[in-house]
Amino acid sequence: MTSFIFSHQKLSTTQKRLIMSQAGTTKSHPAGLYVLFATEFWERFSYYGMRAIFVLFMTDKLLFDKAYAANIYGSYTGLVYLTPLIGGYVADRYWGNRKSIFAGGLMMAIGQFILFACASLPAASEMSQILLWTGLAFIIFGNGFFKPNISTMVGQLYVESDNSKKDSAYTIFYMGINAGAFVAPLVCGYLGENVDFKWGFLAAGVGMLISLVIFYFTKDKYVVSPLGEQLGVLPNKLKDAAPADGQTGFSQTQIAVLVLSIVAAIAFIYKVLGVDFWGSAIYGMTLCLPLSILTDRSLTSVERARLVVVVIIMIFVVFFWMCFEQAGASLTFFAKEQTDRTVFGWEMPASYFQSFNAGYIVLLAPIFAVLWSKLASKGIEPSAPMKQAMGLGFLALGFLFISFGTNADPTIKVSILWLSGLYFLHTVGELCLSPIGLSMVNKLAPGRFTSLMMGIWFMAIATGNKLAGTMSELYPDPAKTEKPVFLGIEISDLHTYFMIFVGFSGVAAIILFFLSFKLQKMMHGVK
C-alpha cells in the first residue's frame, strides 16, 4: 500500500530512498507482475495457438511442399523476433511501453482474424494467398511492439539493485508465457486438426482480444514502480540523465554509416551467399545493429562493457534457438509421421506435442525460481553467462536422447516417450537460458536503452528462428529419394539429422562455459 499512498505526492530524496529500500526487502512480488503475467498468458495463447497449426495448415490446406512451408515458417518466426527492434525503439523514443503494448496487441488480433478469413477460402484461391501474407504481416509487426515492451516492464516493477528478485520475477513471468503456450495447442490445435483450421485461427484472435482487455483495465492501478509511479507512460529516454558532455546518441554521420552498413550486409548475403531476401534482412540487421549501439557516444565505459556481454551472449543464443525451434517444423513432422501417438486407443493430434515444452515449464518454473533464490542467498548462484551455457548443454542432451530413439526404418513409428524426453531436457535448458537472458538484458542495459536492447536481444532469437527454418528444410523426407546434404554430410536418416544439432549446441555450450568467467568480470558487479 505504501507505493499507492505516495503515488501523487512530491517525495524528497530521503523518502524515495526509504521507500526503495523497503521495496527491495519485501519477499512478495508486486501485483503488477501478475497483471503482466495474465496479459502475456493470453498473448502467447494467441501466438502459439496459431503456430501450432501453421505448418500443418500450409501443408494440408494450402498444399505447400514441406521444404517451402518450413522456409516460410522460419522467415515468419524470424521476423516475429526481428520487429521488436522497431517496437523497442519507438517505445524508448516516442510512445512509451504502454501505448506500444496496446497498439501491438491490436495489430496481432487483426492479423489472426485475417488468417481466419484466409482459412475460410478455398486453397487454390488467389485471395487466400494475399490474406496469408497480410495476416502474417500484421502479426509480425504487432509482436514487434508488444513483446519487448512488456518484457521491459517486468524489470521496472522492482528496485534497480534487487537483481535476485528480478530473476525470480522473470521466471514467474515466463510461466505466464508458457501457460498460454501449453493451453493454446490443446484448443487451437484441436480445432484446426479436427474441425477446421479457420476455427483455430479464430480462437487465437479471441485470445489476443482477452489479453488487451486485461491490460487496458488493470494497468493504471497495478503496473506501477516501487514508488507508486505508473510505468511505461513516458519514453524510456527520459529515465537517464544525459552525460556531462551532452552527447546523447548517434550523429547524422553515424546513422548514415549504419544504414549503408545494413544495406551492404543485406546485399552481400542476398547476392553472394544466396540467402532469400527476408533471411538476408534478418542476418544483415543482426550483424550491424548491435555493433552500432556499442558506438553510441552517451555510453560510459562500464555501460559499454556490459552491453558487450549482451552482444557476445547473443551469438550463443542464436545457436540455442536454431536448435530449439525445430519444435515448430521438423519435430512437428516427426510427431505426425514417425511417432506412435496412440494413447489408450486415442490418437493424439500432432500439434499437441507443442504443449509438452510449455507444460513442463509451468511445472518446473516455480522450482527454478526458488532454486535461483536459494543459491543466491548462499552466494553460490551461477552467473547469467554460466546459466546460458547450462541451457545449451541441456539442449544438446535433448537431441542426443532422441537421436538414439529414432528408427532406421521410417515406416516403423517410435514411442511417444522419445519426444517427451527431448522436450523435458529442452525445457530445463530453456529455463536456464531464456528467462535469465531477459533479466540479464534488463539489468545490464542503461535505462534509456532498455526497450531497444530488449529488441536487439530478440534479434538473436530472430536469427535463430530463421536458421531453424533453414535447418528444417534438411529434414529427411522418406517420400523423397534425393537426400539433403549439409557441410558435405548426407542426411540419410533422422539419427544423422538430430546429431547435427547435438554438435551445434554442444560445442556452443563448451565455448560459452569457458568464456563465462571473463564475461562475469565485464558485467561489473551485476549478477
The Cβ of residue 249 has, within 10 Å, a number of other Cβ atoms equal to 14
28-228+267-522 maps to which CATH number? 1.20.1250.20
pLDDT band for position 115 (cuts 50, 70, 90): very high
What's 132-143 look like in SS3?
HHHHHHHHHHHH
Does residue 247 register a pLDDT over 50?
no
Contact 527, 381 (CB under 8 A): yes
Percent of the chain residues topping a pLDDT of 70: 89
pLDDT tens digits for range 445-477:
887 777 678 778 888 888 888 888 888 888 887
Contact 42, 207 (CB under 8 A): yes
pLDDT tens digits for range 482-518:
788 888 888 888 888 999 999 999 999 999 999 999 9
Shortest CA distance to 451 belongs to which of 195, 51, 100?
100
Q: 276-282 long-range CB contacts below 8 Å, 24 or more apart?
A: 276/71, 276/75, 278/75, 278/78, 278/79, 278/466, 279/74, 279/75, 279/78, 279/466, 279/470, 281/82, 282/78, 282/79, 282/82, 282/459, 282/462, 282/463, 282/466
When comparing pLDDT for 236 and 64, which is higher?
A: 64
Three-state DSSP at 62 gives coil
Does residue 136 register a pLDDT over 90?
yes
pTM, rounded to two decimals = 0.75
pLDDT band for position 229 (cuts 50, 70, 90): confident
Three-state DSSP at 488 gives coil
Mean pLDDT check: name the lowest of 42-51, 134-143, 216-225, 394-403. Answer: 216-225
Secondary element (H or E) of residue 12: none
Shortest CA distance to 396 belongs to which of 282, 250, 505, 520?
505
pLDDT tens digits for range 308-318:
998 999 999 99
When comparing pLDDT for 390 and 488, which is higher?
A: 390
Q: How many CA atoms lie within 13 A of 184 on its CB side?
A: 31
C-alpha cell belonging to residue 488: 558435405
Cβ partners under 8 Å of residue 390, min gap 6 = 382, 429, 432, 433, 509
Q: Which amino acid is at 503?
A: G
pLDDT band for position 248 (cuts 50, 70, 90): very low
Q: Average pLDDT in the 247-263 region?
A: 71
- The torsion defined by the Cα of 19, 21, 22 and 27, in degrees rounded to 10, comes to 140
Residue 234 is predicted with a pLDDT of: 73
pLDDT tens digits for range 273-284:
888 888 898 888
Shortest CA distance to 214 belongs to which of 324, 101, 379?
101
In DSSP terms, 489 is beta-bridged to 486
Residue 210 is predicted with a pLDDT of: 96
Q: Average pLDDT in the 54-59 region?
A: 89
Does residue 243 register a pLDDT over 60?
no
Owner of C-alpha cell 565505459: 301
b/e burial code for range 206-242 (CB count within 10 A of at least 16 → b): bbbbbbbebbeebbeebbbbbbbebbbeebbbeeeee
Does residue 346 register a pLDDT over 80?
yes
Question: Helix, strand, coil % (nearest 5) of the chain?
Answer: 75, 0, 20
When comparing pLDDT for 116 and 297, which is higher?
A: 116
pLDDT tens digits for range 172-226:
887 788 888 889 988 998 899 889 999 999 999 999 999 999 999 988 888 888 8
Q: State the DSSP code for 341.
A: -
Does residue 66 register a pLDDT over 50?
yes
